Amino acid sequence: MTQDELKTLVGQAALQYVKPDSIVGVGTGSTVDKFIDALAASGIPLKGAVSSSVRSTERMSKLGIRILEASEVESLPVYIDGADEIDHAGHMVKGGGAALTREKIVADLAERFICIADESKLVDTLGAFPLPIEVIPMAAAQVARRLKARFGGEATLRAGCVTDNAAHILDVRGLAIKDPAGFEAEVSQWPGVITVGVFARNKAAVCLLGTAAGVKTLSF
């Protein structure tokens, strides 16, 4: 199957985690687009959805799914989103679509994170995919220097990217993140950092992995 077909497969498989008459957390990205389409076509009754990006909000609104603000809910049964990388413990790298801060906010509301991805995203060690870090613009150069000195990572500003929060994205190459929780905890404390694209505190509970043999379920 093509990568697009694998994304469709896992998007449909994620419907099993959507409880009728609940509020579902929805991420962003091309794989999540497939889930949104499947959700709209499924006929599953929902109270609404909390979206992590303008892109997903617009797509769901056009398909008739009611959108709620994160401030309107106290918790969510599930948050369904993709990943740029996921390791064998459920830690992820996210932010390729520049929505990592809002993704982490919605993920933090959820009882369980359901990751949907194709098998190319499963890795032994996070870091091959350039790690996104959302930063306040005036801190970008300072954070980049610190990443180089502390971890040997080469950080570059993502050209032309302004996030939904009016911030910038540093993409960091050359990392091997062997302690995702420690990395996330440390870098999150640096002045000017809004969000680190390592999802360790909000790691996946389940990954639905699209493979040539079908959907493989990984539980963490």
Residue 28 is labelled as binding a ligand: yes
Residue 95 is labelled as binding a ligand: yes
Residue 31 is labelled as binding a ligand: yes
- The Cα 6–Cα 169 span in angstroms is 28
Q: What is the pLDDT of residue 138?
A: 97
Q: Yes or no: say if 46 and 24 are a contact pair by the CB < 8 Å rule.
A: yes
Summarised one tens digit per residue, pLDDT across range 64-87 is 999 999 999 999 999 999 999 999
What is the distance, to the nearest Å, from the Cα of residue 75 to the centroid of all Cα atoms in its chain?
A: 18
User: What domains can be seen in the chain, in order of their start residue?
Assistant: 3-123+201-219 (3.40.50.1360), 131-196 (3.30.70.260)
Q: Yes or no: say if 146 and 172 are a contact pair by the CB < 8 Å rule.
A: no
Residue 48 is labelled as binding a ligand: no
Residue 121 is labelled as binding a ligand: yes
- The Cα 176–Cα 11 span in angstroms is 29
Strand partners, 177: 126
Query: Half-sphere exposure of residue 203, counting CA atoms within 13 Å on the CB side?
Result: 18
Q: What is the pLDDT of residue 77?
A: 98
To the query of whether residue 103 is one of the catalytic residues in this protein, the response is yes
Put residue 160 in one of left, alpha, beta given phi > 0 → left and psi -120 to 50 → alpha: left
Residue 94 is labelled as binding a ligand: yes
Average pLDDT over residues 184-193: 98
Residue 83 is labelled as binding a ligand: yes
When pLDDT is cut at 50, 70 and 90, the band that residue 106 belongs to is very high
- What amino acid occupies position 133? I
Q: What is the pLDDT of residue 43?
A: 94
C-alpha triplet 81, 216, 22: angle, nearest 5°: 40
What values do phi and psi take at 135, rounded to 5?
-135, 155
Q: What is the pLDDT of residue 87?
A: 98
Q: Yes or no: say if 198 and 175 are a contact pair by the CB < 8 Å rule.
A: no
In the set 5, 74, 103, 184, the catalytic residue is: 103
Residue 96 is labelled as binding a ligand: yes
Strand partners, 116: 208
Average pLDDT over residues 36-64: 96
Q: Give pTM, 2 decimals.
A: 0.94
When pLDDT is cut at 50, 70 and 90, the band that residue 194 belongs to is very high
When pLDDT is cut at 50, 70 and 90, the band that residue 1 belongs to is confident
- The Cα 195–Cα 143 span in angstroms is 12
- What amino acid occupies position 74? E
